[in-house]
C-alpha cells in the first residue's frame, strides 16, 4: 500500500479530552452513590481517587504541553460548584479558574464542558432530569460558572452526549438513575435539549453584559454508525435508519433549528435554542450492527465481525469508515462546522491505539478533502481514567497511569500524536511506520 502525506488545514486544532469525575478524584455526586451498588462497576472500582487530577492538573497540563496539545477539553463538576441548591462554593469556583489559567499559561486553549454525565445528589431530590424545571436549575449553575470564567478565551461545550445520558440512564439502566423506560428517556432528552438552549443563552447574556465578544458555544453529541446486520433485508435497513435518525440526528437537528423535534418533543419552537450551535461537537468511537430479528431495546445484538479489532472491555469494533460516513451525514444535513471532540480506544495494546488514531484521522482527512469544515480533533483521553461502568478496566490514555503510584507515563501513541500535531497531519512516512508492513 502506498501512503500519501495527509496535511490538515491551517489553524486545525489538536488536543485531547477528559472529564471531571473520570479524572479528578474527590467528587461527590450521583455516580459516587452508584459506584457503591455491587455489580454496577464491572471491576468493582470507584472514582474516589480517579487520577487525582484535582491535585495534579499542573503536572497533567505540563505533559499535554510537552506532547504538543493545542487545546484541552475538560469538564466542570457541577456538584462542587453548587453543593446544595442555590449555594455556591467560592473555593471550588476559584479552583476551576486556576485550572483554566494553568492551561492558558501553557498556551493551551481551554474547551470547557459544563455537564459531563454527573449530577449533584440534591438534584435528584426534585426529580433530576425528569423534572420539568431541570433545564432552569442547570442554567443557574451555568450562569455562576460562566460569570467566573468569562474573561478567558474559552470554547464552551454545554452538555456532553445527551443521548448517551438519556439512553444509558433511563432506557438501558446502565448509568444512574438506572431506569428502563423509553418515555422517560425521551423526556430526559427533551429536557437536556432545553438545558442546552438555556445554557447557551446564559453564556451569551453574561458575555454581553461584560461587553465581551460572543464566545464559541456547542453541545457535544455522540454518534454511532448504525449498519443493517443483513444489508439485503429491508427491515434491517429501516431499523438502522430509524436509529440513526433518533440517536444521531433528532437532538442536534432540534438544537440547530431551535425546535423540540419528534420523538423527543412535539415539534414546537424553543427560542433559547436559537444560535446555540456554533459548531457540532462530535464524538465517534464505533459502528453498531442492528437486526430487525432481535430485540434492540432488550439489548439483543447480532454477532460482531471476528475480523475487526475491538476496544477493551466495551468491546466496540474498530470501524474507521463509519467516522467518515457520520461526519459526512452531519455536514450534508446541517452545514455547520464540526469539532471532533472525542475519538480513541481503550486498550493496553498501544500499537492498536496508534493504528486506531491514524486510520480514523485518514477518514477525517478524506471528509475534509471533500469540503467538510472540521475545526479540530481531540483524542479521548489525555490519561487513562475511570471508564464509567468499566471502572479502570479500559485504558483510553495517551498517557498511562499506574493506579497504585499515580505515576504518569506517556505511551508511544502520545509521541506519535505529537508528531501529527507538529506536522499538522499524517506524513506518508508516519503512516508507513505504523500501518505499513513495518507497523504490523
Ligand atoms: C464519554 C466519555 C467516555 C468515552 C469512552 C464518551 O461516551 O464522553 O466520558 O469515557 O466515551 O467510553
pLDDT digits (tens, 9 = 90+) for 290-349: 999 999 999 999 999 999 999 999 999 999 999 999 999 999 999 999 999 999 999 999
In three-state secondary structure terms, 347 is: coil
What digits encode the pLDDT tens for the residues 231-245? Answer: 999 999 999 999 999
Q: Which domains does the chain have, with CATH numbers?
A: 6-250+279-438 (3.20.20.80)
Cβ atoms of residues 408 and 425 within 8 Å: no
Q: Identify the pLDDT of residue 439.
A: 58
Output the average pLDDT for the chain.
98
pLDDT band of 437, cuts 50, 70, 90:
confident
Q: Identify the pLDDT of residue 438.
A: 57
Q: E-assigned strands of 102-212? A: 109-115, 155-160
Q: Averaged over 23-45, what is the pLDDT?
A: 98
Question: Whose alpha carbon is nearest atom 3 of ligand 1?
Answer: 387
Q: Averaged over 252-267, what is the pLDDT?
A: 97
Residue 387 Cβ inside 6 Å of ligand 1? The answer reads yes
Q: Averaged over 94-103, what is the pLDDT?
A: 99
Nearest to 365 by CA among 423, 301, 292: 423
For the full predicted model, state whether its pTM sits above 0.85: yes
Q: Averaged over 104-111, what is the pLDDT?
A: 98
Question: Whose alpha carbon is nearest atom 12 of ligand 1?
Answer: 387
Nearest to 177 by CA among 187, 168, 190, 164: 168
DSSP state of 440: -
Mutation to probe ligand 1, out of 115, 316, 340, 388 (largest number of atoms < 8 A from CB) = 388
Question: Whose alpha carbon is nearest atom 10 of ligand 1?
Answer: 387
Q: Identify the pLDDT of residue 1.
A: 84
Sign of CA dihedral 314, 317, 320, 322: negative
What digits encode the pLDDT tens for the residues 169-182? Answer: 999 999 999 999 99
Amino acid at each position: 500500500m502506498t501512503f500519501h502525506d495527509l496535511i490538515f488545514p491551517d489553524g486545525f486544532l489538536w488536543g485531547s479530552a477528559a472529564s471531571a469525575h473520570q479524572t479528578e478524584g474527590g467528587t461527590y455526586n450521583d455516580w459516587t452513590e452508584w459506584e457503591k451498588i455491587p455489580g454496577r462497576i464491572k471491576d468493582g472500582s470507584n472514582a474516589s481517587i480517579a487520577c487525582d487530577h484535582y491535585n495534579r492538573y499542573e503536572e497533567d497540563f505540563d505533559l499535554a504541553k510537552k506532547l504538543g496539545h493545542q487545546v484541552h477539553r475538560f469538564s466542570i463538576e457541577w456538584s462542587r460548584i453548587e453543593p446544595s441548591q442555590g449555594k455556591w462554593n467560592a473555593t471550588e469556583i476559584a479552583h476551576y479558574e486556576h485550572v483554566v489559567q494553568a492551561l492558558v499559561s501553557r498556551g493551551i486553549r481551554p474547551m470547557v464542558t459544563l455537564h459531563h454525565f454527573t449530577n449533584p445528589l440534591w438534584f435528584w431530590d426534585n426529580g433530576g432530569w425528569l423534572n420539568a424545571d431541570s433545564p432552569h436549575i442547570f442554567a443557574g449553575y451555568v450562569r455562576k460558572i460562566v460569570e467566573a470564567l468569562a474573561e478567558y478565551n474559552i470554547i464552551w461545550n454545554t452538555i456532553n452526549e445527551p443521548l448517551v445520558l438519556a439512553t444509558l440512564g433511563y432506557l438501558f439502566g446502565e448509568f444512574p438513575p438506572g431506569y428502563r423506560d423509553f418515555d422517560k428517556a425521551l423526556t430526559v432528552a427533551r429536557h437536556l435539549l432545553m438545558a442546552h438552549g438555556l445554557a447557551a443563552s446564559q453564556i451569551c447574556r453574561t458575555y454581553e453584559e461584560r461587553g465581551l465578544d460572543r464566545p464559541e458555544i456547542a453541545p457535544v453529541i455522540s454518534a454511532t454508525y448504525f449498519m443493517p446486520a443483513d444489508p439485503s433485508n429491508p427491515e434491517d435497513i429501516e431499523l438502522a435508519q430509524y436509529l440513526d435518525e433518533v440517536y444521531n440526528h433528532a437532538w442536534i437537528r432540534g438544537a440547530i433549528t431551535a425546535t423540540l423535534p419528534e420523538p423527543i418533543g412535539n415539534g414546537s419552537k424553543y427560542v433559547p435554542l436559537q444560535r446555540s450551535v456554533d459548531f457540532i461537537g462530535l464524538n465517534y468511537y464505533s459502528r453498531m450492527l442492528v437486526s430487525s430479528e432481535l430485540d434492540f431495546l432488550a439489548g439483543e445484538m447480532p454477532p460482531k465481525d471476528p475480523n475487526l479489532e475491538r476496544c477493551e472491555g466495551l468491546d466496540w469494533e474498530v470501524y474507521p469508515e463509519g467516522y467518515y460516513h457520520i461526519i459526512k451525514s452531519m455536514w450534508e444535513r446541517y452545514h455547520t462546522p464540526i469539532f471532533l471532540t472525542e475519538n480513541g480506544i481503550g486498550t493496553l495494546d498501544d500499537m492498536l491505539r496508534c493504528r486506531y488514531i491514524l486510520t480514523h484521522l485518514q477518514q477525517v482527512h478524506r471528509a475534509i478533502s471533500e469540503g467538510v469544515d472540521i475545526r479540530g480533533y481531540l483524542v479521548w483521553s489525555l490519561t487513562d481514567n475511570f471508564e464509567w461502568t468499566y471502572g479502570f478496566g479500559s485504558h483510553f490514555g495517551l498517557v498511562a497511569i499506574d493506579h497504585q503510584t499515580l505515576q504518569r507515563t506517556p505511551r508511544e501513541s502520545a509521541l506519535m500524536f505529537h508528531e501529527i500535531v507538529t506536522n499538522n497531519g499524517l506524513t506518508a512516512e508516519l503512516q508507513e511506520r505504523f500501518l505499513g508492513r513495518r507497523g504490523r
